[in-house]
Structure 1
Amino acid sequence: MSNSLDDVVSGALGVLDTHGLEFCSMRRVASALGVQPSALYHHVPDKQTLLALMADRIVADVHAPVDGSREQRALAVCHGLRDAMLSIRDGADVVATASAFRLGASGIESDLAEVLGDRDGARTLLLYVFGHTQATQDHRLASAVGVLEADPDLDASFDRGLAIVMRGLAD
């Protein structure tokens, strides 16, 4: 049975969630799908393209709501993005990397820029969300393996920082 592009992306996300980004190789994805690594290249030309597709899948359901104030809509995007990235191990690393290198087709930055009326403001918000979410994922992983104690304030600190960034953008 041959795999589709959707199967390849799903397999890659499964490997990512199980092993983390550091060990999410084309060889490991191929093994998870029961194929030779060369079979993946029928669907994606390289790992960067696969990472972009993974990032797009992670954030696929994140969209700016049509109702509410500009601030409410921007906050909804930021919270939706954070939740989506936290839903899979190293999701923030994948999405942040794809965004930094302008890989993939995700429209989150454009959606946020449209909501705010400010492309630089949208990028600033995204960088905050990426950074805080990456730190949260790192902390949760370290806590899960007993290196650090769990920090029950991570969600609240995200909201406090987000409010500060939003105030800065309003000025």
Structure 2
Amino acid sequence: MRYRRTDVVERAIEVLDEHGLDALSMRRLAGDLGVQPGALYHHFTNKDALLAAIADEILRRGRRPAEIMAWDAEAHLLCLGLRDAMRRHRDGALLIARVHRSDAEALEQPLRSALARAGADADLARVGARTLVRLVLAHEADDDADVALGLGLVLDGLRTRLA
């Protein structure tokens, strides 16, 4: 049977949820799909490319609908969407944090754009976005109220800088 890239990613997410990130390998995934491990390289050049695709899909599923809103409300929703996406899957936070280390741009860009629209210069947009993403990644397992307080503190600081 021939599998599409989306089929492979879907099964990889199922393996992640069932067994965790440490157990997710190209060999295990190929076995689950009933193909030789080399067949997966048709879709992904290596395991890191597979992990990036899984993280992208998890994040895509966690996105909240975009609306025209104030930059700070948008940033808040983006952070909540990231947190929701990470918490929806076993080891989701670990996977997204691992991918983020090698490709910070993917998670930070929507926040940078919101900050830039608010008038932030390139440095403030970059550091502000990175701070928000790292806060969410670091506090994935914390109480919702603690995360909300942390987000509020960072957003208050950004509002002050932008005023």
Q: Shorter chain as normaliser: what TM range? A: 0.7 to 0.9
Structure 2 portions without partners, runs of 5+: 117-124
Q: Distance in 2 between matches of 1:169 and 1:95?
A: 24
**1:168: Cα distance to partner?**
2.6
**1:63: Cα distance to partner?**
5.8
Q: Which amino acid aligns with 2:136?
A: V
- Asked whether the 8 Å contact 1:64–1:77 carries over to 2, the reply is no
Deviations, residues 27-78 of structure 1 (Å, cap 9, x unaligned): 1111221212121111111000000101110111426733222111110100
- Asked whether the 8 Å contact 1:64–1:112 carries over to 2, the reply is no
**TM-score, normalised via structure 1 length:** 0.81
After superposing on structure 2, the runs of 4+ consecutive aligned residues of structure 1 that deviate more than 3 Å are none
Q: Give SS of 2:99's match.
A: helix
**1:4: Cα distance to partner?**
1.0
In the alignment, does 2:129 pair up with 1:129?
A: no
Corresponding pairs, count? 151
Match for 1:155 among 131, 144, 152? Answer: 144
**1:25: Cα distance to partner?**
1.0
Deviations, residues 114-167 of structure 1 (Å, cap 9, x unaligned): 10121210111001111111xx1xxxxxxxxxxxxxxxx711111111111222
Structure 1 portions without partners, runs of 5+: 137-152
| Identical pairs, percent | 43
Q: Give SS of 2:85's match.
A: helix
Alignment of 1:45-60 (within 5 A): 45-60=45-60
Q: CA RMSD in A?
A: 1.8
Match of 1:168 in 2: 157
Q: Distance in 2 between matches of 1:36 and 1:9?
A: 16
Match of 1:65 in 2: 66
Q: Which amino acid aligns with 2:133?
A: L
- Asked whether the 8 Å contact 1:51–1:98 carries over to 2, the reply is yes
Alignment of 1:1-171 (within 5 A): 1-61=1-61, 62=63, 65-102=66-103, 106=106, 108-117=107-116, 118-133=125-140, 136=141, 154-171=143-160
Q: Which amino acid aligns with 1:112?
A: L
Instruction: Judge which range, 30-39 or 59-68, deviates more.
Output: 59-68
Q: Which has the higher helix share?
A: 2
Q: Which amino acid aligns with 2:135?
A: Y
Match of 2:120 in 1: none
Q: Distance in 2 between matches of 1:168 and 1:50?
A: 37
**TM-score, normalised via structure 2 length:** 0.85
- Asked whether the 8 Å contact 1:55–1:95 carries over to 2, the reply is yes
Q: Distance in 2 between matches of 1:64 and 1:109?
A: 18
